[in-house]
Each structure stands twice: as C-alpha cells, then as structure tokens.
Amino acid sequence: MATPFLSTANTFLSPSHPSPTSQSPLPHSSSSSLAVLQPSRTAKKLPNLCRASNESSSAAESPDVVTKRRSLAICLITGLAFSSLPNAADMTTSSAHAAILEADEDDELMEKVKLDRKRRIERQGVLNSAKKETGYLQDVVYNLSKVGQAIENSDLPAAGSVLGKGTNADWVQKANVAFAKLSSGPEEKTEVDTFNSSLASLISSVVGNDIESSKVAFYASASAFEKWTTLTGIITQLKGL
C-alpha cells in the first residue's frame, strides 16, 4: 500500500550385487556325463517327428474335413476380434453424453460470467453514489497517516489528540457509516471488525503510553483498512493509498 501510514507501519514490524564366483574347470567326464551336458541327438529329432506325425494325420483326413476345420477356426478368430472392439452404438451414446456435459459446462460458465459482470456493475453504481461516504473514508486515511507519523516519532500525545479518547470519536463513527454502506460480503465485514478492534487497542495503548503496543495495534488497524478498501473497490477513489 503506497501510503505514508502503511509505510510507517511496515517500519515497526520489520545395492550392490555379489561378484560371481569363478567356475572351476570341468573334470574329465565319461561318455554318460557328456550325454547330459550336450544336447541329445534324440531330442533334436523330436520336433521333426511331431511335425511328420501331424502331417500324416492331416493327410489321412479328407479334404472336406480339413476345409470345415479351417473355416471354423477362421470364424472363431474373427468373432473374438470383433467382440473386443467397442460397440458402435455405445460409442455414439458416449459421444452424445460428452457433448451434453460440455454444453452444460459452457452454459454454467456463461451464467457465472454474466452474474459476475452484473455484480461489478452494481458495485460500481454503489461506489459512484457514495460521495459522502468516500469523504468519510478519506478522513480515515488522513487521520491514520498523522497517527502513524506521531507514533514513529514516539510522540504518543500527538497521536492521542488525533485518535480521541475512544472509538466514539466523530471520524470513527462516520467511518463505520461508510463501512456499513459499502460492505457487501462476509469477508469485508470481517475486516471491518478487525479494524475496529485494532483501533480500540491502539487508542488504549496510546492512552497508556505504551509505545510498542501502539505500533502493533497501528499496523493491524492500517492493514485491515487497506484490505477492506481493496475488497470493496473503493481504494481506487481514495488518495494516499
């Protein structure tokens, strides 16, 4: 916040694998042990024998039987392939549902945009009509600036003369009139409550000649006021912020 009293407020609160074992050389082995280590010639012949057996059995069957089996196999494979594909009707239905959802989201977004625009227009109308309240808030800026300068100079009597003896001071009462008119949401009202409670602490600390507590309370008051003006949008119409 580019204002003197806030600048013043800020100055106050400143696995490894095992190595393989070497293999010992093979001992001199007999012919039986070589037969175990080397592939068997008989084993090599097995695939050929199986192939020959299958061919002989196929040859024994009639051409019609072979043709029917092949046709049946083709049908089964084709059926399985098509069964794994998504149903065209389901795909069309899913696409339609997605289109409907997307359209609903677009409608909701448009309604939100329209509502936000309407609120901004209404808010700007309220701000433009709050000339008197804007003046009250400008007095708050002016008074807080003077209080901040006095506290910075450790001149609590000067700060007290601006603040007054309590929260019933005229400028505070007028500020709350502006707060009530321009606050429209719970967050803004929370900042108003924070401002008033911090201001009460500030007045009490100044009256009690407690400089450190005055600095803390002043910072809290100025921060709450700044946040409130930002939330309401009135910050653009106030000088010194």
Do 229 and 149 have their domain in common?
yes
- Within a domain: residue 9? no
- CA dist 162 and 207 (Å) reads 12
Contacts of 205 (CB under 8 A, 6+ apart): 213, 214, 216, 217
Q: Let me know whether 107 and 145 are in one domain.
A: no
Assess whether 107 and 189 both reside in one domain: no
pLDDT at 209 exceeding the cut of 80: yes
Q: Are 159 and 216 contained in the same domain?
A: yes
Tell me, what's the pLDDT at 71? 60
Same domain? For 135 and 233 the reply is yes
Tell me how far apart the alpha carbons of residues 129 and 132 are, in angstroms, rounded to a whole number.
8
Tell me which residue range forms the domain holding 199: 131-237
If one counts the domains in the chain, the total is: 2
Structure tokens at 6: 């806030």
Give the residue from 167, 202, 181, 72 showing the smallest Cα distance to 128: 181
For 49-107, the three-class secondary structure string (H helix, E strand, C coil) is: HHHHHHHHHHHHCCHHHHHHHHHHHHHHHHHHHHHCCCCHHHHHHHHHHHHHHHHHHHH
User: How distant is the alpha carbon of residue 171 from its chain centre?
Assistant: 41
**Looking at residue 50, what is its pLDDT?**
42
pLDDT in tens, 169-192: 999 999 999 999 999 899 999 999
- The whole-number pLDDT of residue 151 equals 97
**Domain containing 165 — which CATH number?**
1.20.120.290
Residue 173 lies in a domain: yes
Residue 91 makes CB contacts below 8 A (sequence gap 6+) with: none
| Whether pLDDT at 60 is above 60 | no
The mean pLDDT of the chain is 74
Percent of the chain with pLDDT over 90: 41
Q: Whole-prediction pTM value? A: 0.56
Which carries the bigger pLDDT value, residue 1 or residue 36?
Answer: 1
The reply to whether 183 falls in a domain is yes
- Does residue 229 belong to any structural domain of this protein? yes
